[in-house]
Structure 1
């Protein structure tokens, strides 16, 4: 195996995660570098300048560009420098002949106040030909678009890049959540060992190297045995610090990585970054057993192919992710529909247990609601679940808890890996111990590594943790069996579980509101029942006592001889019976108000008012009554019910003005934006506003029955009718001067 150049002292190979790879202070020697000022004066040069073009690097500093590369080359290069829009990424300018037999592709980019020119030695004398790039990219795009999976796309990319570059082995691998690389596709010469399906540990690529892969999407190492060419002077004259060569094509790489390559039997390599959604998804990694040059035009083609592959992978993954989420959401919607079937929330949940398992792709599920535990499928025992929930209640405070290795967080779970190696759990209440849990069983799997990731050297004599970074010396297949873990939870499952929790809370809140409304309605019904009991014990018994009393008097011998007294007793019996019947009829009417369905239609309120006045004609008799009716609107309401409400209000107005010589009853309407408001005012007995809260209660009277006859149900009926329309009722009055009753009906009914 080749070793590092003996001219360079050995390096500490255990600290490459701290190595300043962006500022190596040197370049790879298959080209040379010049850093120029805005006036094209040479400020820095690589030390291999003399080997490349016969010019001394130290003497080049401070010289104009043409004095260093020659007049002819400068005349050819200057127009390209003026015409090109040079940014921080290397741009191909031209191919120059410098000296009698050397030709160079010239790349330019600007960084840290310098114009950096890189001269890569090439065999051809002609300019780079990019005409083939369009055909290569177009053909690859057609092929990759027909691929069904990301793995098939990667296989096409590996084949195409090997064809363009001639590398002996091209791999495409994807990084997992822990940073390990998994080889998805490979195209190789038979002489090269295969790594297909194997994994490379995350420690093979240090953190700062990954960051650089994201910044600069392509990197070439032509010969791992190269001797770096240092920059002179060693610091950037503009910034006074080491040159940042992040975007330089010739940037020298870490000696640790070079040793890694030699350990792997690779002397030339190229990598292309695959960026998906702004993250390093994976790499296209090219290897060759001997030094291998790849010109800039071919590297550009590979970089374009990598970008196309990344975009296609992103598109395919987005489509798969969307389809997965749609499938899970469809299950969730069907579950939510089943959760409203009955009043018992837990029974509803247990009725959708099969869908719950399908929703989370789980082996078992459990619901704990206070002391009530329901399970379905393959779950741990009841005591184990209750202990687990107790631990969750103490240690997990988010909306959703998930893990595919429960025993690592909760040691007692080691005894239940068979059905609960993985857990997805969510609290349904922040106050009570209400939990919904999904369990996944253990999945025993074998992972193939390209070499033992836990060892530093080939014979395993010096074992080290994976986190310690150093170049490995063995890449032989090493198998690791992983136990105690379940299939991982998908991000979509976790997000939709959180959404499901929100929906459950919404259902629970709606149920609580219904219960509160029911409690309020029950409270009102109790009050009405109390009033009804009082009425039965007082109002209804009074006429019945009269009937019994006068009947007893009629049976007495003395009464039978007095015709006038007998007739008076019979009239009293008749009046009492009529009052009792009226009371029963009104009770029946009030009961029906709460049950009958409303049938709203467009109602002309003027016509309803006049119809009610016509019915009251007999009650008016010879009295002087002035009906003052203003313009009344048409509104949507149930005509039968609203007519009954109007009749009760007009009848009351007529009754409570009976002691006035001239009664004035005024009916008005006003538009209050979202609702119509009708008022009925009279100049009658009025009432004391201190007792207005009793006015619309069942059997509530603010006047003596001896003064104004009535059962005390009419206004309660009015309130029930109007509230069922979504409106409200209220009244104002002055005792002895009159009263005004109001009711509103919304313009948009929600019934």
Structure 2
């Protein structure tokens, strides 16, 4: 059976309904049963295989459609059918032998009759020795490439395919061939890459759901389902888990272009994600029976588990090594009183920590650099861009020139950047730079070409060339490892702790000694009760990891790392807020005309990530302008709006109103919400440092945000008040004088 090759429109490839093709591959046939056991849907080739026309089969019970004895052998297996195909029995019908697969999906019981050449039943007894032999070949020191090569050899031995590839997907979705077993009939693709566009998103989703797929002959003519839609639901019949499911014409053309007429793929799932594929190819049509497919699927699952174990072990060792360097660097930072000098003394450790070629410290207008970095003017330009475009705890990229075009001029030293702000208010940064890493990629065909078949200039077809095509990549650095990013966040928390300690030492010399002492008492309480706990968790779980030395179970070590990460995040939040509160009383005000409408909108934009998919209705009045320090007023507004978002998390929709009015001496603003509110008996505690009116288990927070709001408003000469009804919402009101008092 040879299929014609009509023009294919690749522009709709990513929208193709591959789960509901309405047809099957013709090397078998399908009978779909209703819950009552009546045949309600068939493939149009059942007469060829079973000797009965579709019209004669529809509406009849199974035992009247196939041999009564065969129906009796199948009957015990049908009630236990699940959504994944399982082997029911081997039966002989119309002088042919069939493996019968059964699965229940989309309200139908699907029976798939696959024609086989053997006379007897499928024999699954060889599964155990195959799996056992494969496991014996693997050991804990094997690399992912070594394990993949052994799996490819085993699967080629089972299936007889000409070529078996094992490839993994990179961060951009391109497939990198790690291992290959080849009998020489087909070209080798070892070490080459297949572009992400070869597998559209909906195909990747199906690979993740259904772990194995066989195409016996790329030249097949599909057998249609009759009726075409699911007779029970009226919707197109979902064949996601059908072994005979027909595949995309685009993919069939792709196979023919590659010179393969039969293929099989086994999905490799690692940590719940599609990590890669075992892809099998044959130059001639080839059918692999269900028992052999099951053996291949089992080997694929074992390989995925061993890959996951290896990657987890390597990840843990990497994080332990980086943590040791971080601890060493932090030890050097506590030796003297001058923060910048201390940082300069540990520059070698800092470079080693981030595997960087250069680093720089920016404190206000002072810049200290070490190693291979951009010059001072370029650093100042980069910092200005970071202040305008990055508001996260860390910024990192391995393509700085693509995100900040002026950086292309110094890509040799700084194609990669890890930027750590040390202050939310001042221009304090620690920067790491990675040099350009020029590398080549060997593609299986030019991934940038789109080919038009003759006679159809507006149509696109799958690429026909798979000849090796080499691409040289410029302007990128070695990528930042997720472990480096997470440990850099911990490092930032520690730096902020050191900076906070310096700030508290200076606060002791301030004129307002009484108020400073009161805040230090609150700080001591926080260290005892809020900050000490997460830091103790970090130390404790780090000790456990160091003691295990990578020999413990990956699950336990993963749990330790998760606990460390969450504790570090909480400690970092506490220290950030404490530092911000401390700086608020010392930094000079720089009042200018402030457009409050723009300020509110910028805060709402920043809150978009916290809101996610929640429904939040913002009602913002036309707000009058004021004369104030825009940085401080924005921080106060952000704290009020962030609280409103947090305490309306149980409302759908959340409603937040921002209003403003100008009075004789003051301009008054209100922020009201329909959230959980609070008990007015405790309103006097609301603006104190580390005061919470709700349990931290219910609403996360440090109890510093509203203290910051009060300090900012009072430094402007204004006042702030709050009112609420429990369960109905809260209203915060603050006023700013129309004429600011003398401030510093």
Q: How many residues are matched?
A: 515
1:424-453 CA distances to partner (integer Å, 9 max, x unpaired)?
A: 111101111101000111111111100011
1:146 CA drift (Å): 4.5
1:457 CA drift (Å): 2.8
1:434 and 2:428 aligned? yes
Q: Does the 8 Å contact 2:439/2:472 carry over to 1?
A: yes
Q: Distance in 2 between matches of 1:58 and 1:9?
A: 30
Q: Hey, what does 1:54 align to over in structure 2?
A: 51
Q: Does the 8 Å contact 1:456/1:473 carry over to 2?
A: no
Q: Hey, what does 2:313 align to over in structure 1?
A: 319
Q: Does the 8 Å contact 2:8/2:460 carry over to 1?
A: no
Q: Hey, what does 2:469 align to over in structure 1?
A: 478
SS in 2 for 1:120: strand
SS in 2 for 1:219: strand
Q: Distance in 2 between matches of 1:461 and 1:475?
A: 22
Taking structure 1 as the reference length, the TM-score comes to: 0.67
1:274-331 CA distances to partner (integer Å, 9 max, x unpaired)?
A: 0011110000000000000100000001001001100110010001011111111111
Q: Hey, what does 2:27 align to over in structure 1?
A: 30
Q: Hey, what does 1:303 align to over in structure 2?
A: 297
Larger Rg: 1
Q: Hey, what does 1:662 align to over in structure 2?
A: none
1:471 CA drift (Å): 1.2
1:523 CA drift (Å): 9.2
Q: Hey, what does 1:5 align to over in structure 2?
A: 3
Q: Distance in 2 between matches of 1:469 and 1:443?
A: 35
The worse-fitting range, judged by mean Cα deviation, of 135-144 and 227-236 is 135-144
Q: Distance in 1 between matches of 2:454 and 2:141?
A: 42
Residue from 231, 247, 251 that aligns with 1:253? 247
1:493-547 CA distances to partner (integer Å, 9 max, x unpaired)?
A: 11111111111111111222233235589999xxxxxxxxxxxxxxxxxxxxxxx
SS in 1 for 2:78: helix
Q: Distance in 2 between matches of 1:295 and 1:425?
A: 55
Q: Hey, what does 1:87 align to over in structure 2?
A: 82
Q: Does the 8 Å contact 2:153/2:181 carry over to 1?
A: yes
1:95-125 CA distances to partner (integer Å, 9 max, x unpaired)?
A: 00012x2000011111111111001001112
1:463 CA drift (Å): 12
Q: Does the 8 Å contact 2:451/2:461 carry over to 1?
A: no
1:380 and 2:374 aligned? yes
1:52 CA drift (Å): 0.6
Q: Which runs of 4+ in 1 moved over 4 A?
A: 8-11, 458-464, 518-524
1:168 and 2:162 aligned? yes
Q: Does the 8 Å contact 1:73/1:97 carry over to 2?
A: yes
Closer/same/farther in 2, CA of residues 386 and 63 from structure 1, 3 Å limit: same
Q: Hey, what does 1:19 align to over in structure 2?
A: 16
1:369 and 2:363 aligned? yes
Matches within 5 A, 1:242-281: 242-281=236-275
Q: Distance in 2 between matches of 1:117 and 1:345?
A: 73
1:73 and 2:64 aligned? no
1:456 CA drift (Å): 2.0
SS in 2 for 1:192: coil
Q: Distance in 2 between matches of 1:330 and 1:145?
A: 28
Q: Does the 8 Å contact 2:24/2:224 carry over to 1?
A: yes
Q: Does the 8 Å contact 2:7/2:456 carry over to 1?
A: no
Closer/same/farther in 2, CA of residues 461 and 320 from structure 1, 3 Å limit: farther
Q: Distance in 2 between matches of 1:523 and 1:462?
A: 84
Matches within 5 A, 1:175-324: 175-324=169-318
1:252 CA drift (Å): 0.3
1:57-99 CA distances to partner (integer Å, 9 max, x unpaired)?
A: 12211011111112222122223335xx211000101100012
1:24-43 CA distances to partner (integer Å, 9 max, x unpaired)?
A: 00000111000001222100
SS in 2 for 1:152: helix
Q: Does the 8 Å contact 1:260/1:471 carry over to 2?
A: yes
Q: Does the 8 Å contact 1:174/1:281 carry over to 2?
A: yes
The worse-fitting range, judged by mean Cα deviation, of 67-76 and 228-237 is 67-76
Q: Hey, what does 2:449 align to over in structure 1?
A: 455
Q: Distance in 1 between matches of 2:47 and 2:310?
A: 51
Q: Distance in 2 between matches of 1:272 and 1:12?
A: 27
Closer/same/farther in 2, CA of residues 521 and 322 from structure 1, 3 Å limit: same
1:355-385 CA distances to partner (integer Å, 9 max, x unpaired)?
A: 0000000000000111111111111111111
Q: Distance in 2 between matches of 1:255 and 1:9?
A: 9
Taking structure 2 as the reference length, the TM-score comes to: 0.67
Q: What RMSD in Å do the two structures reach over aligned CA positions? A: 2.2
Q: Does the 8 Å contact 1:421/1:484 carry over to 2?
A: yes
Q: Does the 8 Å contact 1:171/1:285 carry over to 2?
A: yes
1:189 CA drift (Å): 1.0
1:352 CA drift (Å): 0.4
1:460 CA drift (Å): 13
Q: Does the 8 Å contact 1:29/1:227 carry over to 2?
A: yes
Closer/same/farther in 2, CA of residues 60 and 522 from structure 1, 3 Å limit: closer
Q: Distance in 2 between matches of 1:126 and 1:520?
A: 96
1:96 and 2:88 aligned? no
Residue from 123, 130, 133 that aligns with 2:117? 123
1:143 CA drift (Å): 1.4
Closer/same/farther in 2, CA of residues 72 and 354 from structure 1, 3 Å limit: same
Q: Distance in 2 between matches of 1:513 and 1:102?
A: 87
Q: Distance in 2 between matches of 1:317 and 1:310?
A: 10
1:461 CA drift (Å): 13
Q: Hey, what does 1:150 align to over in structure 2?
A: 144
SS in 1 for 2:508: helix
Residue from 381, 385, 392 that aligns with 2:386? 392
1:117-161 CA distances to partner (integer Å, 9 max, x unpaired)?
A: 001001112111111101111111121235521111101110110
Matches within 5 A, 1:527-542: none
